[in-house]
Amino acid sequence: MSFNTLGLSEPLLRAISEEGYSQPTPIQQQAIPLILAKKDVLAGAQTGTGKTAGFTLPLLQLLSQSAPNSGKRKIRALILTPTRELAAQVGESVTTYGRYLSFKSSIIFGGVGINPQIAALRQGVDIVIATPGRLLDLAKQKALSLSDVEYLILDEADRMLDMGFIHDIKKILAMLPKKRQNLLFSATFSDEIKKLADGLLNTPTLIEVARRNTASEQVEQSVYFVDKLRKKELLSHLIKMGNWQQVLVFTRTKHGANRLCAQLEQDGISAAAIHGNKSQGARTKALADFKNGSVRILVATDIAARGIDIDLLPHVVNYELPNIPEDYVHRIGRTGRAGNEGEAISLVCIDEKAFLRDIEKLIKKEIPKIVLEAFKPDPSIKAEPIEQKGRGQQSRNKPSPNKNDPSGRGRGENRPNSRSSSTPRKEKGRA
């Protein structure tokens, strides 16, 4: 199938061709005609499937079909995302695909100065891409009006709910006109997502593309058994032996990310960390340095890494396994994209064996295990329970606003109402 058959206009086709896309991805094939037919859509698609173009292209086309000839620009399309990084990426896509159209878009997120955003909005924009918190702040300050929104898109809606944005989303919905087209994109369809979709979408069409864990045989997965205290050493060894030049490494905690970064630097391997305690400037710089190759290793926590789009990422390392099996799938989905092969390695100590079993159950596959002679686990070390980040324990704590979290409004990796604590276990086996 070619893009020409999907009903997109010439300026969009030109931009697509300049991006080098020869044919639409499965989610694009399904979503574009439905959106152009003005249907509400509930789409199951993960990052890496081409979902952003799947909604951005038809949105731009619909906007251009009914563009007012005169008058001040009004916000006609609102795209909500869970994180700043994703907002920035979607904003970039809007600019890229819309480069032969004359729409103005604005990206709005917390953690950076509000005044430039107010100034940009004052000039008039057609499309706003925003994280919920800062958008509400601006709406409260009357820096923007949402009363002319014709198109609402929730991107990575499951993550928005995980991060506790449901109340903000409801407040935003109350500011929108009743008559509008709604698109909801989510990697998973939990009960919460279905509830949100029921309240939001008007007789939606459901579309879904295969989850990456079932679809992607492109990612070669393996597990290295190693003692916890020797993980740093093993990681440096693997990076050096394999001469890996670009590696995304996941840790379970922000402090763990910082510590690992420092250790790698000590070993002469350039590394940067990206997590909720880093300022927006530091995160943008870390990501840019990683993308341009001046930093070899990017150490990230799950939420910070969500939505990061890096083409051709060859190696993903789980320095610690996530206690939520679905996060493993999200993590390894960072590699093996768009037809390229990738490698996902997990360093697993004795304490994490239960997590490994949960993951293998979810992906319905046994991951090959490797024990390097020089890093053989010490049999005298016994398993100790790992603090269950996000599960159980945290739900007993009170929310503690974190000014540096991805939304800039107190939502971050440690939110007690993350999916892991609010809906434990029941999502298992949902792949």
Q: Which of 8, 34, 43, 47 binds ligand AMP (CB under 6 A)?
A: 47
Q: Is the dihedral of CA 127, 419, 166, 431 positive or negative?
A: positive
Residue ranges in 295-314 that form contacts with ligand AMP under rule CB under 6 A? 309, 311
The Cα-based distances of 155 to 46, 197, 207, 231, 396 in angstroms read 10, 12, 14, 35, 29
**Which region among 34-42, 44-52, 313-321, 358-366 touches ligand AMP (by CB under 6 A)?**
44-52
Per CB under 6 A, 24 contacts ligand AMP: yes
Q: Read off the tokens for 30.
A: 């399904």
Choices 19-27, 66-74, 194-202, 414-422 (CB under 6 A): range interacting with ligand AMP: 19-27
Number of residues that bind ligand AMP (CB under 6 A): 14
CA 165 from centroid of its chain's CA atoms: 15
Question: How far apart are CB 46 and ligand AMP at their closest, in Å?
Answer: 7
What whole-number distance in Å separates Cα of residue 299 and Cα of residue 317? 9
> Which distant-in-sequence residues (6+ apart) come within 8 Å of 357 by Cβ?
none
Shortest distance in whole angstroms from residue 93 CB to ligand AMP: 7
333 binds ligand AMP (CB under 6 A): no
Looking at beta carbons only, is 206 or 338 nearer to ligand AMP? Answer: 338
Pull the structure tokens for residue 122. Answer: 């004052």
User: Are 405 and 276 contacting, i.e. CB atoms less than 8 angstroms apart?
Assistant: yes
**Amino acid occupying residue 235:** L
Check: CB of residue 225 under 8 Å from CB of residue 353: no
State which amino acid sits at residue 308.
Answer: I
The Cα–Cα gap between 272 and 261 comes to 6
Find the shortest distance in angstroms from Cβ 16 to ligand AMP: 7
Interacting span for ligand AMP (CB under 6 A) from 17-25, 74-82, 98-106, 174-182: 17-25
Which residues lie closer than 8 Å to 229 by C-beta, 6 or more apart? none
Helices (H), 216-279: 231-242, 254-266
Token pair 């290295």 in the structure block, residue: 224
Minimum CB distance to ligand AMP, residue 326 (Å): 17
CB of 121 to ligand AMP, least distance (A): 25
Amino acid code (one letter) for 326: E
- One of 41, 53, 107, 173 touching ligand AMP (CB under 6 A): 53
Closest approach, Cβ 214 to ligand AMP, in A, equals 16
Secondary structure class of 53 (helix, strand, coil): helix
According to CB under 6 A, which one of 6, 12, 29, 50 is a site residue for ligand AMP? Answer: 50
Closest residue to ligand AMP in the complex (CB)? 52
Residue reference for tokens 């999200």: 330
Shorter beta-carbon distance to ligand AMP: residue 93 or 251: 93
Verify binding: residue 404, ligand AMP, rule CB under 6 A: no
Q: How far apart are CA 117 and CA 98, in angstroms?
A: 21
- Whether the CB-CB separation of 343 and 316 falls below 8 Å is answered with yes
In the complex with ligand AMP, the residue whose CB is nearer, 53 or 78, is: 53
Asked if 51 touches ligand AMP (CB under 6 A), the answer is yes
* Residues in 205-264 at the binding interface with ligand AMP, rule: CB under 6 A: none
Binding residue for ligand AMP (CB under 6 A) from 52, 81, 182, 280? 52
Query: Would you say 24 or 164 has its CB closer to ligand AMP?
Result: 24
Whether 131 contacts 406, CB under 8 Å: yes
Nearer to ligand AMP, 53 or 88 (CB): 53
* 25 near ligand AMP, judged by CB under 6 A: yes
Of the listed pieces 20-28, 61-69, 72-80, 134-142, which binds ligand AMP according to CB under 6 A? Answer: 20-28
Stretch of residues binding ligand AMP (CB under 6 A), selected from 45-53, 124-132, 142-150, 294-302: 45-53
Q: Say if residues 154 and 160 touch (Cβ distance below 8 Å).
A: yes
User: Which residue ranges make up the site for ligand AMP (CB under 6 A)?
Assistant: 21, 24-25, 28, 47-53, 309, 311, 338
